[in-house]
Amino acid sequence: MKQALTLILMTTSALCCNAQGKVEDYKRAFSIGSKYNMQMVTGTADNARWTASNVFTFSLRTADGVKEREGRIGEDGTVSIGEPQREERHEGQGPAGFGGQRREGGQRMQMRGGQGQNRQTTPTTKEGPQLLQNHWMNVGDEKGGWPAMSPDSQHVAYIRDYNVWVSDVNGQNAHPISFDGTIDRYYSAYVQWSPDSRYVATCKIHVPEKRYVYYVESSPSTQLQPILHQQEYAKPGDEVKWRYPSVFEVATKRVIIPTNELFPNAYSLEDLSWNEDSKAITFEYNERGHKHYRLLEFNVETEKVRTLIEEEAKTFVNYNRLWHQRLADGHQMLWQSERDNWAHLYLYDLDKAKVIRQVTKGEWVVRQVLKVDEEQGVIYFTASGMNKDEDPYHIHYYKIGLDGKNLVSLTPGNGNHSARFNSDYTWLIDTYSRQDMAPVCVVRSVVNPEQGTEIGRGDVSQLVEKGWQMPEVFSAPGRDGKTMMWGIIQRPTNFDPSKKYPVIEYIYAGPGDAYVPKNFQVTNYYTNALSELGFIVVQLDGMGTSYRGKAFEEICYKNLKDAGFPDRKAWIRAAAQKYPYMDAENVGIYGCSAGGQESTTAVLLHGDFYKAAYSACGCHDNRMDKIWWNEQWMGYPVDSSYVECSNVYNAPKLERPLMLVVGEMDDNVDPASTMQVANALIKAGKDFELVVIPGAHHTVGETFGEHKRYDFFVKNLLGVNPPKWNEVK
């Protein structure tokens, strides 16, 4: 017994000697962002851009400072570099912005938002709830709009007294052509004339009673007393805005209303547009629950609706990725789909409502269509996963014929690529990097991309001389023992392989995207500083995230509590097996937003592996969060799966240290979501820490929370008392 006690004391003493978390470690953590920066990486070609079809400029970073350079493409295809010859610059077209449509509206752009503050500005008064104006979550009522002139310039159509009116262009002979519009079921101001000026199309609108979330701003800068804020906030299961297409024949005032057998339960009904022959309108129907998405055509002569293109799934259609573009003849359309498990392009005959051909195919995903050159019959696009010998998330640039032949890789080189094409798409400037490789910049011909001219290559020697630690890109099999999971390992600058380091995972598992950074970074806010305290910090994408095929992502369906944890645990254990200094028996986790939900879930449902969690602004119960994000992944109607994934429901299972953080003004995730977890933990008699940050919006914790996070992990994983705050300057 005495011998065992001595061994325990010796082990504890050894751990204390190895432990960091001291004042000097905190100072390094807080200053690491200023100690290392991109100015210390020489040789890079930054801000490369085309100023003409054969001329480009860039900034070359050298040991003597930044030098402006100009490159020219000779008639023989040679690339020459020299001093800029003129000041006037007209930037060429970049890789995006060439027609087509993608579901990238407010919902898409505000997915979970774990990385940003999302602050809103609103006028304040001293009394009454202050409604947040122009917020991305507000639902438009479509009441405002300009009168629409007919193509023959003879008439204008507009909304008056909730109905559609038409008058001569001079305002004479004004009369209604609809008569059933009311205060709560009115016609949209977004009216559209048919090309032959015979018909007017719009939608009848009903905006349901709105749900609001309220925030008390305890410490406003504008006044002494608190301010109550009010925000539109639809949640899963709430009634959604109703839109119904309606067509009016102007001369006869005939009303043409389609039956809704093919769009019975709309989450959204969008993109109402006329065909060129004025015989039909097309619109897109997104079913509530997102298991069906249809491009529909309503023939105003036969008054029949038919399906042109349909996406369906037993789980969900990821409508945010349904890019499409009608070709110039009006009878064909390129359409992106995951119907064969991989995001690919299909060419449709719209007259026959049939696929002509699958244009791209394989176990890889199309990421973005850049340009459709119909004259040359070529599509330019980005994709990932095509190169089997590298990280499957790396973006590469390609071209392929509309006939599905002659696929060409335009960006060779192992890395994540970002390219700028010249105006006629004959040359591109290709910049690529990895987390473990500084940027390389190459000018390439589209005809012969393998023979590029290198104009920049980053050199990290200055960083390494100052002790900088490059992150390691690491891959290991996930839960199935064969599918590789990809992530990064970050070590501290004073790394000592003879020590044993606790591991902290930064988690943001979405779903809806992939989150591990792929481009070179000198410092990563989520990993570098925290590692300086004496940890190895990791980040990875597990199953349930995007760009690895639909089956890979569908793990998340009605199952957000999974969050890829079986893959994460397998990956960390594999890393620890390779690197014995990683302590897989002492693992913490932290995250914000979706990551806040997931980090709490980690200690509730996987407390055998994760020993402590810091959770900021988490959507801890998906019934409490925004409608569009949660119904996409958890389905509709709201059912028991929402409860089973709830951290409120699972709160009594807590046996590990947990710090909950929330901004009192979080306008992304309802702050009540965090408070309800706290309430459940209190009722279950559980010990935890709660940090409420006055005035903060959607945040990882701001400066105060960051320091609290440092102390939390130093105390609970290193087992030492953190230094006093006034000692850390």
The per-residue DSSP string of 221-236 comes to: SS-SS-EEEEEE---T
Mean pLDDT within 57-72:
96
Phi–psi pair at 345, nearest 5 degrees = -100, 140
- Angle between helix axes 594-605 and 565-578 (nearest 10 degrees) is 80
308-359 pLDDT, tens digit each: 999 999 999 999 999 999 999 999 999 999 999 999 999 999 999 999 999 9
Name the pLDDT band for 422 (thresholds 50, 70, 90): very high
First to last CA, the chain: 46
Mean pLDDT within 500-506:
98
Question: Would you state the pLDDT for residue 5?
Answer: 38
704-719 pLDDT, tens digit each: 999 999 999 999 999 9
173-218 pLDDT, tens digit each: 999 999 999 999 999 999 999 999 999 999 999 999 999 999 999 9
Q: What does 149-208 look like in DSSP terms, one character per residue?
A: E-TTSSEEEEEETTEEEEEETTS-S-EES-----SSSEE-S--EE-TTSSEEEEEEEEPP
Question: Would you state the pLDDT for residue 293?
Answer: 98
Question: Would you state the pLDDT for residue 22?
Answer: 96
Question: Would you state the pLDDT for residue 131?
Answer: 87
268-283 pLDDT, tens digit each: 999 999 999 999 999 9
Among the ranges given (84-98, 390-404, 434-448, 620-634), the one the predictor scored with the smallest mean pLDDT: 84-98
Q: What does 642-696 look like in DSSP terms, one character per residue?
A: HHHT-HHHHGGG--S-EEEEEETT-SSS-THHHHHHHHHHHHTT---EEEEETT-
Question: Would you state the pLDDT for residue 196?
Answer: 98
107-127 pLDDT, tens digit each: 332 333 333 344 444 444 556
Question: Would you state the pLDDT for residue 133?
Answer: 86
Distance of alpha carbon 178 from alpha carbon 248, whole angstroms? 8
Question: Would you state the pLDDT for residue 132?
Answer: 85
C-alpha dihedral, 185 to 191 to 195 to 198, nearest 10°: 50
Strand order in the sheet with 453-457: 416-421, 427-434, 437-445, 453-457
Question: Would you state the pLDDT for residue 86?
Answer: 55
Mean pLDDT within 38-44:
97
Name the pLDDT band for 595 (thresholds 50, 70, 90): very high
Task: Record the tokens describing residue 653, joined without a space.
Answer: 């299972």
Task: Record the tokens describing residue 282, joined without a space.
Answer: 């097309």
Q: What does 344-394 look like in DSSP terms, one character per residue?
A: EEEEEETTTTEEEEE-S-SSSEEEEEEEEETTTTEEEEEEES--TTS-TT-
Distance of alpha carbon 461 from alpha carbon 645, whole angstroms? 47
Name the pLDDT band for 7 (thresholds 50, 70, 90): very low
Distance of alpha carbon 101 from alpha carbon 417, whole angstroms? 23
**Residue 564: exposed, middle, or buried by beta-carbon count in 10 A (0-12, 13-18, 19+)?**
buried
* Strands in 480-599 per DSSP E: 484-490, 501-506, 536-541, 582-592
Distance of alpha carbon 93 from alpha carbon 380, whole angstroms? 13
Question: Would you state the pLDDT for residue 128?
Answer: 76
134-151 pLDDT, tens digit each: 899 999 999 998 999 999
Q: Is the pLDDT of residue 18 over 70?
A: no
In percent, how much of the chain has pLDDT > 90? 90
Identify whether the C-beta of residue 430 lies closer than 8 Å to the C-beta of residue 397.
yes
Q: Is the pLDDT of residue 59 over 60?
A: yes
C-alpha dihedral, 356 to 361 to 365 to 370, nearest 10°: -50
C-alpha dihedral, 187 to 192 to 194 to 200, nearest 10°: 20
Task: Record the tokens describing residue 119, joined without a space.
Answer: 């602050």
Residues recorded for the chain: 729
| Cis peptide bond prior to 511, omega within 30° of 0 | yes
Q: Is the pLDDT of residue 99 over 70?
A: no
Distance of alpha carbon 402 from alpha carbon 374, whole angstroms? 8
Q: Which helix (H) or strand (E) holds 337?
A: strand 332-337
Q: What does 392-440 look like in DSSP terms, one character per residue?
A: TT--EEEEEETTS---EES--SSSEEEEEE-TTSSEEEEEEEETTEEEE
Distance of alpha carbon 11 from alpha carbon 8, whole angstroms? 5
Distance of alpha carbon 363 from alpha carbon 344, whole angstroms? 10
Q: Which residues of 644-683 are buried (b: 16+ CB within 10 A; e: fewer)?
A: ebbbbbbbeebebbbbbbbbbbbbbbbbbbbbbbbebbee
Is the C-alpha dihedral spanning 347, 348, 349, 354 positive or negative? positive
Identify whether the C-beta of residue 347 lies closer than 8 Å to the C-beta of residue 372.
no
Distance of alpha carbon 177 from alpha carbon 174, whole angstroms? 10
540-559 pLDDT, tens digit each: 999 999 999 999 999 999 99
Distance of alpha carbon 141 from alpha carbon 210, whole angstroms? 11
Instruction: Give the amino acid at 84.
Output: P
Mean pLDDT within 123-133:
71
Question: Would you state the pLDDT for residue 125?
Answer: 52
Task: Record the tokens describing residue 525, joined without a space.
Answer: 């806010």
Task: Record the tokens describing residue 608, joined without a space.
Answer: 């055998």
Place of tokens 């046996």: 655
Question: Would you state the pLDDT for residue 121?
Answer: 44
152-172 pLDDT, tens digit each: 999 999 999 999 999 999 999
Question: Would you state the pLDDT for residue 498?
Answer: 97
Q: How many Cα atoms sit within 13 Å of 468 on the Cβ side?
A: 24
Q: From the DSSP assignment, how many helices (H) and strands (E) are in the chain?
A: 13, 40
Question: Would you state the pLDDT for residue 729?
Answer: 76
Question: Would you state the pLDDT for residue 103?
Answer: 40
